[in-house]
Structure 1
Amino acid sequence: MLKKYILLFSLLLWMSSPVSAQLVTDPKQVYEVGQSLNLTSPYHTTLTFFYNLEEGNYKPENAAKALDLSDAQTKDGQRLAVKLKQIFEGKGIIVRINEIPNEQNYQDSVSGTSENIYYFDKKKLPGIFLQKTENNWKFSAFSVSQIDELHSETYPYGTAKLLNILPKIGNEEYLGLHLWQLVGLFILLLLIFFSHWLFTLVVDKVMLYLFKRYGYGKVGEDYILPVARVISIYLIVVLLSLFIRVLQLPIEIWSWILVVLRTLKPFLITVIFYKMADVVAAYFAKLATKTESTLDDQLVPLMRKTLKAFVIIVGTMFILRDGLNLDIIPFLTGLSIGGVAIALAAQDTIKNFFGSIMIFIDKPFQVGDWITSGDIDGTVEEVGFRSTRVRTFRNSLMYVPNGKIADAILDNHGLRQYRRFYTTLTITYDTPPALIEEFVKGLREIVLAHPRTRKDAYHVYFNNLSSFSQDIMFYIFFEVPTWGEELTCRHEILIQIVKLANSIGVRFAFPTQTLHMESFPEKKTLIPEYKGGYEAKVHDFVQQELKPRKD
């Protein structure tokens, strides 16, 4: 009787161990499991296999009976049984005994084959399953053939040797862990700190020194160094995932650690590519500065945002699939179906998106250009995916949808090679024809002397007699790229015109009404006296005012 309760107590302890969440509680059935090999159902075979590999009931020869060794090249069933259990632990698979079917003729209806097969975890261990052979359930011959390969995959790079070395340190228990596990954990922590120190030395010291030596110190600090630091953290996580499974921690703890490590890997890779988007954008920004167009300067931040959004989306998919073991196929299918509905509901947004693409392809304007189209009148400040930002001359901001701009007729003043200046110079009716002729010659000299005027296309003529003045058409072009420079040139030209008029005695007319009366002997007439010599005066003006500018 005492033996039965001791056996029951040992099984209850095993029930809280990595393998099981709940075991049988019938003492008679527990006693039968401990005394005999019961392979009549998936439930009993699993119980027999794991029970005989526990520390207090370690009988690998009994566990090997649960393996189908008929097709195995080696008959060393005990070694294969131990390896198979280590595979379950290394993969972080929790075997819940109470969820395993206890039917002698159980059939796997999920696979659609209706065979006598039971899978433990099709995602993590698709090649390990129980199969009914004659009247017994055993790990299939195919599963047995996969044990060595799966074991090498679970414990790569020679870490499997540590499974036999570390336990020799000691099996005394402290804080719920064996002495060899505590020692291994301490060594692992030292390895992590040493790796972090080494990577920090290589990244922060050596790599940054090389970049500074070759004149790329700012690039190294701002772009390369952040990426290298995340890569170093990723390498530490890889080392941790390789060696921590050797410690064979309790499965409830290890399963969560494994999820964290599996999630950290794609997460860190996502962060690496996210930061590399800044490196790529910086490279293209440098190329954009070598071009005359400013539109590609605006394209660089849009490209950076697009790359980062793409990295986040793809990285999230990998985190869900590899880290959390979620099936993303239904999610992607739902996105494709929902995408149609979203596309119908967001027609304007899609139109604006393609409008922005057409703007970047056709390049009807660039940042800094003055454009007009209907109510749009201002300078382009930014071109986004949805809208273009225009700064009006009232200093307000106008956000124009790109779809509207792509379909509109635009007048781009910023693409002008020359800027026209047209004005009418009005002089009084009392100006003699000879003075008008010389004044027009002087105006033409002013145009020819200015360094920013177009010399092959200008028109300065006495061309109209209006109601209150004689009119001279002044029609010229400035070869300047911006409106500010145009205003500067206008200022310079107009100053020269006023100086010329003052030097030769030309008076500008303005709308007035004059009452003419006969002159009185004691009063002098208001009409100025023109004494001639205009050609000499214009010559003097050109020599004094315009010749220095030409030189």
Structure 2
Amino acid sequence: MFRRFLFVFAILFFAAGASFAQLIADNAESETVGTKVNLSSPYHTTLTFFYNLEESEFHPEKAAQTLDMTDMPDADGAKLSLKLKQVFEGKGIIIRTSSVPNLPNYQDSTSGNTESLYFFDKQKIPGVFLEKKGKQWKFSAFTVSQINELHKETYPYGTAKLLNLLPQIGNDVYLGLHLWQLVGIFFLVFLVFLAHFFFTFLVDKVLVYFFKRVGYQKVGENYLLPVARITSIYLIVLFLALFMPVLQLPAEVWAWIVIILNTLKPFLITVIFYKLVNVIAVYFARLATKTESTLDDQLVPLLRKTLKAFVVVIGTLFILRDGLNLDIIPFLTGLSIGGVAIALAAQDTIKNFFGSVMIFIDKPFQVGDWITSGDIDGTVEEVGFRSTRIRTFRNSVMYVPNGKIADATLDNHGLRNYRRFYTTLTVTYDTPPQLIDQFVIGLRKIVLAHPDTRKDYFNVYFNNLSAYSQDIMFYVFFEVPTWPEELRARHEILIQIVELANTLGVRFAFPTQTLHMESFPEKQTLVPDYSNDSTYYQKKLGEFMQNQLGKKGN
């Protein structure tokens, strides 16, 4: 990437074939300008200013007459005019006189007023404009007062001194460039290669060694090193943007270089922040692993995607504004109006997005939880921007819109502290009460002995007489996190119940029908002989109660 970058600039450096005078003198009457100063229109003032500052016709005192020195009467107009020309050249602004209005009474209709003003470039140099005073068009007094500041802004950090030092090398012309310009280009290319070598050594050697020493080698190599490499290229671009204006390249070539540099700066910053999002995502992913919730593990990818989309959008706006010199205000206005239409057309999408936001805020479930709601029945696998992926027990995958989940009533089985197990154990009617009682006692001991059952609350009782069996309620809870572990605990409990029944001789009942013959010839009838004396039954009841009281006393 860096070699292609240098190759493009090398082509632009040596593509200069036309001088600045040829660019501004389109359809110009050069012989007329050389004999007098004409300030009758924006066209003539512009032509007078630039023509008299060309090397072949260098008359800065005549160019100074195009400046309104009302607010700075003691200033050197010749130096100010030369600085203003250098501002135009340093910012890569090409002035084609054929596009400058040749009307003595010209008025700028785009400024919203009726004053006689002419702006050269409202975006790059909004403070530089011509103003009509009387019958003459001159660079306004405001423009003149801003020349020194604009010059420092265009040539910062003392680079303006090179504008006077470099031409002393020599003004011979080779390949359309002066000798001092060629020397400056080769010296600048040498410094770029030197800076590239230094940053490469710093990033690939020093940083790798540092990350290895502190124990973050993988994080450094996979995430931080790409950021450092792009940052080094960005610093080289800043270096070029700082020193290349000093070379005073032909305006048409330099204008393209300015566009490239101004585009590269926000583009590289966008790439840097785009890669930094991965570093931030790794940091939050480590924080997520320290929490018990699994839902924040899904939040990290969503956060990474959101931040990357935000960086791309903001970076694109800066590239359009700073690189391509486009006014983004109308674009933002149109985007807001179009956003309303898009919002109306994408109501479901927006609803699902805010549904995902509510899921992450309320946390009704976590990844791995078993949830049910209507047709929804399965384990949560992933929560996305639009939908939640649920793995059903048929091993199929359901994609449920987040808006539907946010509005639904969910039954989250994954948040259960205990998993209930309820069944009815049926024993035959010929099982004596004493055996049933011992069987129930044995069942309770099984519950107390199992490691995964809840010991403080369970119910095991002989609680019903059904049509074909005597029923024992078995109602317990398991302290296990997942359904497979619950199945394992059930299996172990049921195996022990069967073993207990076989040991005690308890027979489990199942639906059967038995035919009893109440009377048969020469056989004793099966119909009991019930007594008609009520005192007999009262006596039997008293005996039963005494036996029960005796059992309680023992």
Quick one: structure 1 residues 337 and 19, their matched pair in 2 at CA, closer, same or farther if it must change by over 3 Å?
Answer: farther
Quick one: structure 1 residues 289 and 223, their matched pair in 2 at CA, closer, same or farther if it must change by over 3 Å?
Answer: same
SS at match of 1:57: coil
> Deviation at 1:134?
3.6
Give yes or no for contact 2:227–2:276 (8 Å, CA) kept in 1: yes
Q: CA–CA distance in 1 between the matches of 2:143 and 2:483?
A: 80
1:443 matched to which residue of 2? Answer: 443
Q: TM-score, normalised by structure 2?
A: 0.86
SS at match of 1:337: helix
Q: Can you list the C-alpha shifts for 1:110-156, whole angstroms capped at 9, x where unaligned?
A: 32332332221122112222223343322223222222211111001
**Is residue 304 from structure 1 mapped to residue 304 from structure 2 by the alignment?**
yes
Quick one: structure 1 residues 374 and 75, their matched pair in 2 at CA, closer, same or farther if it must change by over 3 Å?
Answer: closer
Q: CA–CA distance in 2 between the matches of 1:288 and 1:378?
A: 24
Q: CA–CA distance in 2 between the matches of 1:148 and 1:58?
A: 21
**Is residue 386 from structure 1 mapped to residue 386 from structure 2 by the alignment?**
yes
> Deviation at 1:67?
2.4
Quick one: structure 1 residues 185 and 23, their matched pair in 2 at CA, closer, same or farther if it must change by over 3 Å?
Answer: closer
Q: CA–CA distance in 2 between the matches of 1:163 and 1:107?
A: 36
Give yes or no for contact 2:38–2:48 (8 Å, CA) kept in 1: yes
Q: CA–CA distance in 2 between the matches of 1:74 and 1:242?
A: 31
Map 1:74-473 → 2, pairs under 5 A = 74-473=74-473
Coordinate RMSD, CA, aligned: 2.2
SS at match of 2:461: strand
Of residues 243-252 and 63-72 in structure 1, the stretch that sits farther from structure 2 once superposed is: 63-72
Q: Which amino acid in the other structure matches residue 249 of structure 1?
A: L
Of residues 244-253 and 88-97 in structure 1, the stretch that sits farther from structure 2 once superposed is: 244-253
SS at match of 1:234: helix
Give yes or no for contact 2:203–2:225 (8 Å, CA) kept in 1: yes
Q: CA–CA distance in 2 between the matches of 1:234 and 1:507?
A: 85
1:64 matched to which residue of 2? Answer: 64
- Could you list the runs of 5+ residues in structure 2 that have no partner in the other structure? 1-15, 518-554
Of residues 461-470 and 44-53 in structure 1, the stretch that sits farther from structure 2 once superposed is: 461-470
2:7 matched to which residue of 1? Answer: none
Give yes or no for contact 1:19–1:96 (8 Å, CA) kept in 2: no
SS at match of 1:55: coil
Of residues 425-434 and 239-248 in structure 1, the stretch that sits farther from structure 2 once superposed is: 425-434
SS at match of 1:161: helix
Q: CA–CA distance in 1 between the matches of 2:116 and 2:343?
A: 48
2:522 matched to which residue of 1? Answer: none
Q: CA–CA distance in 2 between the matches of 1:471 and 1:456?
A: 23
> Deviation at 1:63?
2.1
SS at match of 1:360: helix
Q: Which amino acid in the other structure matches residue 272 of structure 1?
A: I
Quick one: structure 1 residues 75 and 300, their matched pair in 2 at CA, closer, same or farther if it must change by over 3 Å?
Answer: closer
Q: CA–CA distance in 2 between the matches of 1:252 and 1:208?
A: 43
Give yes or no for contact 2:21–2:54 (8 Å, CA) kept in 1: no
> Deviation at 1:61?
2.8
Q: CA–CA distance in 2 between the matches of 1:385 and 1:338?
A: 22
SS at match of 1:56: coil
> Deviation at 1:24?
5.8
> Deviation at 1:19?
5.6
Q: CA–CA distance in 1 between the matches of 2:19 and 2:220?
A: 50
1:498 matched to which residue of 2? Answer: 498
Q: CA–CA distance in 1 between the matches of 2:278 and 2:74?
A: 55
Q: Which amino acid in the other structure matches residue 18 of structure 1?
A: F
Q: CA–CA distance in 1 between the matches of 2:245 and 2:100?
A: 25
Q: Which amino acid in the other structure matches residue 110 of structure 1?
A: T
SS at match of 2:107: coil
Quick one: structure 1 residues 24 and 483, their matched pair in 2 at CA, closer, same or farther if it must change by over 3 Å?
Answer: closer
> Deviation at 1:515?
7.6
Give yes or no for contact 1:15–1:23 (8 Å, CA) kept in 2: no
Q: Percent identity, aligned pairs only? A: 74
* Equivalenced residues, count: 502
Q: CA–CA distance in 2 between the matches of 1:404 and 1:427?
A: 48
1:17 matched to which residue of 2? Answer: 19
Q: CA–CA distance in 1 between the matches of 2:203 and 2:146?
A: 41
Q: Can you list the C-alpha shifts for 1:310-334, whole angstroms capped at 9, x where unaligned?
A: 1111111111111111111111111
Q: Which amino acid in the other structure matches residue 484 of structure 1?
A: P
> Deviation at 1:467?
3.7
Q: CA–CA distance in 2 between the matches of 1:483 and 1:248?
A: 76
Q: CA–CA distance in 2 between the matches of 1:471 and 1:420?
A: 19
Give yes or no for contact 2:26–2:96 (8 Å, CA) kept in 1: no
Of residues 280-289 and 326-335 in structure 1, the stretch that sits farther from structure 2 once superposed is: 280-289
Q: TM-score, normalised by structure 1?
A: 0.86
Give yes or no for contact 1:371–1:410 (8 Å, CA) kept in 2: yes
Of residues 66-75 and 416-425 in structure 1, the stretch that sits farther from structure 2 once superposed is: 66-75
2:544 matched to which residue of 1? Answer: none
> Deviation at 1:37?
2.2
